[in-house]
């Protein structure tokens, strides 16, 4: 079906890396590279140019956020599906804010996994109920901690977006949500995607502001690559 | 009384007392040398001074050993010092003392009082100060303000030292506990890392490879999945209690319920609630989860979802089981047949919260509990 989609697997566990690669190949994906370390993964990705990277959140050398930043610089437009074995909520949230487009627990079944990969490749966001809970929590945290700062203009969710995220967090499928709210499946998907987009945009704005305030990237100059 | 080990603060304190005793001995010797001409029995002054010097050496070594800081030594110290003080009556003479000559043990006699305060706390200090103060007053036969001031100062010093030692001991114990806790936390983190790097990965892989298989292989995969989830929640366990206030993190209380069929979601940070509310909510959630296990087909998925609003906390327990017809739900509830629902409603109502139940056939059941952060009492 999707023979042309190039996938890279980054995981420090060899057995897992091989297993996942085999499953992906069997499902018709082109596994272009594998790596067990974050820095090496970024270097290899620059040459292998994958469409999708399956990334283990906990790598031995660098954090998930650093790998995601590196991948985005080297391969603009790359989609990152994160996997994690332990439920390190803050790490998951940070990685999503840094630009990952999907998240799945390692214990997810093979069909769920392959479904997540194909959705990631198609440009969709892959949300678990756990991730929806984290994202909602983050928006609420921002609303509580940042309204005092007028420049910060904390991102806000529309009522609809909140409604959709709450239903995702309660374990409803997009189809069930679409039925309940009388929306199209596509609209539900868009709402979910928008919430993540707002969070990632806010994250970039914050990083830029931080860089400007600390003189890391003076106005009018391109930040160094 | 002091126990046989030397805590961090005790050793320097005993050393300080030894130095005080030595300095006081030098001062007492100086006074004896300058006043010896006025004494009634000057020849007895030197042996007394020698005894004081000997006792100073003995106590310096004896108190340096934690095992010897026990009642026998303390009582001996007090008695020897009182004896030296009393000897002043014969050596210096009644008339000399009344005329204002200092006792032989001036200043030196405070040392055992401080020892008692350090070893026995405030009470020990007060007892020794009263005994020593009374002896001093009787020996000097002076009952003026200056004499009383000396005794009172000694009493106050004993109380202060006794207090200080107690506070320092408590501080020392806290520090030791904190260090211990940090060591356990670090060990736990190391274990968590190791488990994450090895066991969890293999279990997840076994579960994944065997998920589609029938029979024993499929059963093994299912078991591996259960163990993976249990282990994951164990190593990722957050600290439940807030050491400062009487609050608990609701997320930490609910996370242990995570399993292959139960998903727990909520904010990344802690959801703090007063301990009573948190425990009641946990119990309500447990009842709801049990209910799903009891009444729905095995493998029915359950979703626990926690929302942390500024003034309320919402906990939703949803299952994707068979669901109940709305009118049947109301009917059953009216007849008091929904035992579990009643118990959940009761628990949440006691906290001043409310419960909403949404169910439809084929849609599963959703129990939403809303509790205000501060209970209405």
Which CATH number is A19's domain given? 3.40.50.2300
Q: Where are the alpha helices (DSSP H) in chain B?
A: 10-35, 42-64, 71-91, 94-98, 111-140, 145-195, 201-210, 215-235, 250-254, 275-295, 326-334, 339-350
Arithmetic mean of pLDDT, B355-370: 83
| C-alpha span between B110 and B73 (Å, rounded) | 16
Residue B332: HSE in the Cβ half-sphere, 13 Å Cα cutoff: 12
Asked if residue A221 belongs to a domain, the reply is: no
Pick from A90, A107, A133: CB nearest B204: A107
Residue A22: pLDDT above 80? yes
Q: Which residue has the higher pLDDT, B210 or B274?
A: B274
Question: Burial, A215: exposed, middle or buried (Cβ in 10 Å; 0-12, 13-18, 19+)?
Answer: exposed
| C-alpha span between B171 and B175 (Å, rounded) | 6
Residue B1: pLDDT above 60? no
Q: Quick one: A121 and A135 in the same domain?
A: no
What pLDDT is stored for residue B4 in this prediction? 43
What pLDDT is stored for residue A224 in this prediction? 47
Helix, strand, coil percentages, rounded to 5, for chain A: 55, 10, 35
| C-alpha span between A171 and A167 (Å, rounded) | 7
Is the sign of the CA dihedral B52, B55, B57, B60 positive or negative? negative
Asked if residue A31 belongs to a domain, the reply is: yes
pLDDT in tens, A180-201: 899 999 999 999 989 988 988 8
Residue B315 backbone phi and psi in degrees, to 5? -120, 125
Asked if residue A218 belongs to a domain, the reply is: no
Pick from B208, B232, B303: CB nearest A109: B208
Give the residue from A23, A19, A93 showing the smallest Cα distance to A57. A93
Arithmetic mean of pLDDT, A101-126: 88
How many interface pairs between A and B have CB atoms less than 8 angstroms apart?
111
Q: Quick one: A23 and A37 in the same domain?
A: yes
Q: Quick one: A48 and A115 in the same domain?
A: yes
* Contact between chains at A85 and B200 (C-beta distance less than 8 A): yes
Domain final residue, candidates A125, A155, A187? A125
Residue A93: pLDDT above 80? yes
The answer to whether A37 and A11 are in contact (CB under 8 A) is: no
Asked if residue A201 belongs to a domain, the reply is: yes
Instruction: Please report which confidence band the pLDDT of residue B324 belongs to, taking 50, 70 and 90 as the band edges.
Output: low
Q: Quick one: A31 and A66 in the same domain?
A: yes
Residue B336: pLDDT above 60? no
Q: Quick one: A86 and A153 in the same domain?
A: no
| C-alpha span between A156 and A146 (Å, rounded) | 11
Residues of A in contact with B267 (CB under 8 A): 89, 133-134, 136-138, 140-141
Q: Quick one: A24 and A95 in the same domain?
A: yes
Residues of A in contact with B212 (CB under 8 A): 110
Q: Quick one: A120 and A208 in the same domain?
A: no
| C-alpha span between B334 and A120 (Å, rounded) | 48
Q: Which residue has the higher pLDDT, B323 or B144?
A: B144
Q: What pairs with residue A7 in β-bridges? A: A31, A52
| C-alpha span between B11 and B376 (Å, rounded) | 53
| C-alpha span between A141 and A89 (Å, rounded) | 14
Asked if residue A119 belongs to a domain, the reply is: yes
Collapse the DSSP code of B111 into the 3-class scheme (helix H, G, I; strand E, B; otherwise coil) and give the result.
helix
Residues of A in contact with B225 (CB under 8 A): 107
Asked if residue A92 belongs to a domain, the reply is: yes
Q: Quick one: A119 and A136 in the same domain?
A: no
Chain B residue with minimum CA distance to A108 = B208
The whole domain housing A81 covers: 6-125
Q: Quick one: A54 and A104 in the same domain?
A: yes
Q: What pairs with residue A105 in β-bridges? A: A84
CATH number assigned to the domain comprising residue A139: 1.10.10
Question: Burial, B245: exposed, middle or buried (Cβ in 10 Å; 0-12, 13-18, 19+)?
Answer: exposed
Domain final residue, candidates A109, A125, A141? A125
Number of Cβ atoms within 10 Å of the Cβ of B374: 12
Residues near B331 by Cβ (< 8 Å), separated by ≥ 6?
A: none
Residues on A contacting B at a C-beta cutoff of 8 Å: 12-13, 15-16, 19, 58, 85-90, 92-93, 106-110, 113, 128-134, 136-138, 140-141, 144, 166, 169-172, 176
Domain count, chain A: 2
Instruction: Please report which confidence band the pLDDT of residue B109 belongs to, taking 50, 70 and 90 as the band edges.
Output: very high
What pLDDT is stored for residue A161 in this prediction? 92
Instruction: Please report which confidence band the pLDDT of residue A169 belongs to, taking 50, 70 and 90 as the band edges.
Output: very high
Asked if residue A1 belongs to a domain, the reply is: no
Number of Cβ atoms within 10 Å of the Cβ of B286: 15
At which residue do the structure tokens 């790998």 appear? A67
At which residue do the structure tokens 């952060």 appear? B373
pLDDT in tens, B206-231: 887 777 777 888 888 888 888 887 77
| C-alpha span between A77 and A52 (Å, rounded) | 9
Residues near B54 by Cβ (< 8 Å), separated by ≥ 6?
A: none
Residue B361 backbone phi and psi in degrees, to 5? -60, 130
Domain final residue, candidates A63, A97, A125? A125
* Contact between chains at B265 and A87 (C-beta distance less than 8 A): no
Query: Average pLDDT of chain B?
Result: 83
pLDDT in tens, B285-315: 988 888 888 777 888 889 999 999 888 999 9
Chain A residue with minimum CA distance to B360 = A180
Distance from the Cα of A215 to chain B's closest Cα (Å) equals: 31
Q: Quick one: A10 and A35 in the same domain?
A: yes
Q: Quick one: A157 and A96 in the same domain?
A: no
Q: Quick one: A104 and A136 in the same domain?
A: no
pLDDT in tens, B34-82: 988 888 888 889 999 999 999 999 999 999 888 888 899 999 999 999 9
ipTM: 0.83
Residue B327: pLDDT above 80? no
Residue B176: pLDDT above 60? yes
B141: left (phi over 0), alpha (psi -120 to 50) or beta: left
């Amino acid at each position: 079906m999707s023979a042309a989609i190039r996938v890279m697997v980054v995981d420090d566990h060899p057995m897992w890396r091989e297993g996942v690669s085999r499953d992906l190949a069997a499902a018709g994906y082109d596994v272009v590279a594998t790596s067990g370390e974050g820095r090496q993964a970024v270097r290899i990705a620059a040459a292998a140019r994958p469409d999708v990277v399956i990334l283990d959140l906990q790598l031995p050398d660098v954090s998930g956020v650093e790998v995601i930043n590196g991948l985005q610089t080297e391969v603009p437009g790359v989609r990152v599906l994160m996997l994690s074995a332990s439920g390190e909520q803050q790490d998951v949230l940070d990685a999503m804010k840094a630009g990952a487009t999907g998240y799945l627990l390692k214990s997810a079944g093979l069909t769920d996994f392959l479904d997540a990969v194909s959705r990631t490749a198609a440009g969709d966001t892959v949300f678990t109920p756990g991730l929806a809970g984290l994202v909602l929590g983050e928006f609420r945290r921002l609303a509580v901690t940042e309204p005092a700062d007028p420049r910060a203009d904390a991102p806000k969710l529309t009522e609809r977006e909140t409604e959709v995220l709450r239903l995702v967090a309660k374990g409803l499928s997009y189809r069930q949500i679409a039925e309940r709210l009388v929306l199209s499946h596509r609209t539900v998907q868009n709402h979910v995607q928008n919430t993540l987009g707002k969070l990632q945009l806010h994250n970039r704005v914050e990083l830029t502001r931080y860089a400007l305030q600390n003189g890391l990237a003076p106005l009018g100059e391109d930040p160094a690559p | 009384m002091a126990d046989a080990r030397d805590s961090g603060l005790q050793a320097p304190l005993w050393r300080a007392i030894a130095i005080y005793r030595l300095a006081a001995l030098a001062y007492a010797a100086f006074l004896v040398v300058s006043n010896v001409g006025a004494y009634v029995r000057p020849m007895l002054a030197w042996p007394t001074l020698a005894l004081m010097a000997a006792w100073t050496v003995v106590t310096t070594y004896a108190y340096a050993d934690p095992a010897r800081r026990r009642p026998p030594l303390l009582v001996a110290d007090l008695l020897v010092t009182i004896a030296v003080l009393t000897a002043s009556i014969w050596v210096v003479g009644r008339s000399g003392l009344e005329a204002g000559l200092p006792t032989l043990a001036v200043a030196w006699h405070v040392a055992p009082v401080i020892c008692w305060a350090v070893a026995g706390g405030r009470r020990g200090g007060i007892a020794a100060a009263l005994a020593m103060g009374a002896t001093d007053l009787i020996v000097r036969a002076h009952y003026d303000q200056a004499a009383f001031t000396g005794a009172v100062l000694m009493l106050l010093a004993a109380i202060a030292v006794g207090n200080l030692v107690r506070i320092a001991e408590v501080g020392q114990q806290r520090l030791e506990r904190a260090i211990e806790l940090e060591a356990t936390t670090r060990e736990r983190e190391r274990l968590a890392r190791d488990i994450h790097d090895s066991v969890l990965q293999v279990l997840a892989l076994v579960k994944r490879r065997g998920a589609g298989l029938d029979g024993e292989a499929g059963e093994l995969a299912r078991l591996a999945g259960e163990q993976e989830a249990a282990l994951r929640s164990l190593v990722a366990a957050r600290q439940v209690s807030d050491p400062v206030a009487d609050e608990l993190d609701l997320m930490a209380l609910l996370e242990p319920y995570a399993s292959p069929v139960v998903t727990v979601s909520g904010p990344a940070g802690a959801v703090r609630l007063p301990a009573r509310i948190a425990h009641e909510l946990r119990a309500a959630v447990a009842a709801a989860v049990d209910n799903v296990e009891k009444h729905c087909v095995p493998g029915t998925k359950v979703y626990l979802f926690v929302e942390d609003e500024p003034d309320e906390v919402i906990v939703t327990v949803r299952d994707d089981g068979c669901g109940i017809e709305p009118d049947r739900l109301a009917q059953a509830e009216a007849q008091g047949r929904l035992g579990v629902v009643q118990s959940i409603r009761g628990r949440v109502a006691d906290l001043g919260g409310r419960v909403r139940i949404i169910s439809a056939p084929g849609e599963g059941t959703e129990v939403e509990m809303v509790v205000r952060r501060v209970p209405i009492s």
